[in-house]
Amino acid sequence: MVVDRSAIFIFITRMEQHKRSKQTAPDKGAGLRAGQLLELTVVSLNDDGYGLATHEGKLVFVSGVLPGEVVQVKIDFAGRRESFATVVRVLRHNPQRLKTVPCDRTNSCDGCPLIQMKYPAQLAWKKGVVEQAIKRYQSLQQALVHDVAPSPQPLHYRNSAKLVVAGKFAAPLIGIYRRNSHDVLDLGDCPLHHPIINRVAAAVKEGIRRGKVSIYSQKSSQGLLRYLVVRVSETDNRAMVVFVTSERNYNEIHHLAKYLQGVVPEVIVVVQNVNISTGNSIMGEKEFFLGKERALATTIGDIKFAISPRSFFQVNSGSARLIYEKVREWAGLTGKESVVDLYCGIGGISLFLAREAKEVYGIELVEAAVADAEKNARLNQIRNCSFAAGNAAELLRELREEGKRVDLIVLNPPRKGCDEQVLQDVAAIGPTRVIYVSCSPQTMARDLDIFARLGYQTRAVQPVDMFPQTPHVEDVALLVKENVQGSGSEV
C-alpha cells in the first residue's frame, strides 16, 4: 500500500491550522471522553501503524484500521492533545483489508496493528516508510531503496517471546500489557508465535493452576512468578524456557518445570531467573538451571549458534538469514579483507562474513554477548574471528592508533542509532565500504546523512520484513567512500 501523501498534507495542514487557532478558540475536543462512540475517517497510518484521524480538531489514533476507511470507534483514552480509540465497526473498507483476519483479538490487542492488511500491501507500506525517512535528507536523494524482502513466514515466525504472568493461580494470564496500562492481555494462540511457544504458554497456565503457584503482583510486590521467557530452535524443534521469579523458591518452580516438560517434551532447557527489582526490567542478575542442558542450539544458513538465556538473537530466523546474506553479498569479500563488525552481539554477521574475509574483529558492549560470540566461533571452527567487549568509539580509536587497515566496517546499532562520535571514528579509519544494519529507518537515515558529510555515499537500502503484521522493518544500507570506484557488489 502506498502512503497517500496528498491526504497526509491535508491532514498536517488541518492540524497546523488547529494549533494556530488554539490561542483564540476554545478547545472543541475537550468533550472527548473514554467510552465515547465516534464515526471517523482514517487519513493515513503513522510509523507505528496507528490510523490517524481527527475529531473537531483533535488528533485520534485508531488501531486496526487502514487509510481511507470510515469507522465507528470507541475512545479508550482521552488526552488533552491526542486520544486513542479502538474499532467497533468498519463502515467503509479499504480494498487491502483481509476478509478473514488470522487473529480473534484484534480489537483488544494492538501488538500487530497491520494484521488486517494483505501482506503485499504491508510490504508496500513499509517501503513507503523507509523511502520517506531516506528522502527527508538532501544527501540521500540518490540512494536506491529496493522493494521490501518478504519474510519467509508471515505468521508463526517469532522464535522467542517475553511474556508477563498475571492474575491469580486459579485463573492465570500469560501475555502482554495493554496499551497505556499494566493490565495484562492473555494472548492464547498468538498467530505470530511459533506453535511451541503457544503450547508452552498453555501448559504453564495449567501447571500454575495445578501447583497453585503464586503469581507476582506489581501493586503489592508479593507473589513468585513474574515473567515467562520462551526461545525456540526452529532447526532442532527444541525450546528453552525461563521462569522469572521474585525469589529463589526452588520447590514450586521445580514442580512447574517438571509438569511443563511432561506436557511439552520439546522443552530441553529450563532456567529459573531471579529478579528482585520492582522496576520493569524482565531478567534479574541470578539464574539457576533446572537440568543438565545449558544452551539451545540453532542454525542460520550454514552457521551454528548456541543460545544462552541472556543471548540476544533475532526473533525471525528466516528474515535474519536474508539480512546476513545481503550483508555478505554487498561486502563483496575476496579473502583478503579485514572487517570490523560493530555491535556484533553473539557474532551472527561476523561469522557469516568470516569464511570470505582475511579476518573479522567483532566489537560489542555486553560482555556476556562477547562470550557467546567466542563460543559460536569455536562451535563453527572459525579461527579468523576475534571479539572484544567495550565502548565502540574507544575500541575504534585504538584500532586507528594501531594503524590497522580496515576494508569494511559493519554497524548494527540498537534502535537509537549510533553516537555521532562512533560515525566520525568509522570515517577516520577510512574503510572503502560501510554496511549499516538498522531496525529504525528514522535513526538510520539520520546517521546516513551524517556519513554523507563525512565522505560516504549511500548507494542502496534493502528493507527486510523481520516483523510481519507489525509496523517495524529492518534495513541494510550500503555506503561507499567517495572517489572510490568499483566498491561492493551490484546494488
Question: Which of 410, 470, 459 lies closest to 438, judged by CA?
Answer: 410
Q: Which domains does the chain have, with CATH numbers?
A: 5-97 (2.40.50.140), 125-152+316-481 (3.40.50.150), 160-300 (2.40.50.1070)
Catalytic residue among 344, 385, 418, 439: 439
**What SS3 state is found at 270?**
strand
Instruction: Read off the pLDDT band of 279 (50, 70, 90).
Output: confident
Question: Which of 156, 170, 173, 190 lies closest to 227, judged by CA?
Answer: 173
- Go through 475-488 and write b for each residue having 16 or more CB atoms within 10 A of its CB, e for each that does not: bbbbbbbeeeeebb
Does 487 score more than 70 pLDDT?
A: no
How many Cβ atoms sit within 10 Å of the Cβ of residue 471?
A: 18
Q: CA-CA distance, 435 to 477, in Å (whole number)?
A: 6
- 439 in catalytic set: yes
pTM comes to 0.89
Instruction: Read off the pLDDT band of 21 (50, 70, 90).
Output: very low
Does 31 score more than 80 pLDDT?
A: no
The predicted-structure confidence for 407-445, as pLDDT tens digits, reads as follows 999 999 999 999 999 999 999 999 999 999 999 999 999
**Which pLDDT score, from 0 to 100, does residue 257 have?**
97
How many Å separate Cα 63 from the centre of its chain? 19
The predicted-structure confidence for 322-372, as pLDDT tens digits, reads as follows 999 999 999 999 999 999 999 999 999 999 999 999 999 999 999 989 999
Average pLDDT value for the chain: 91
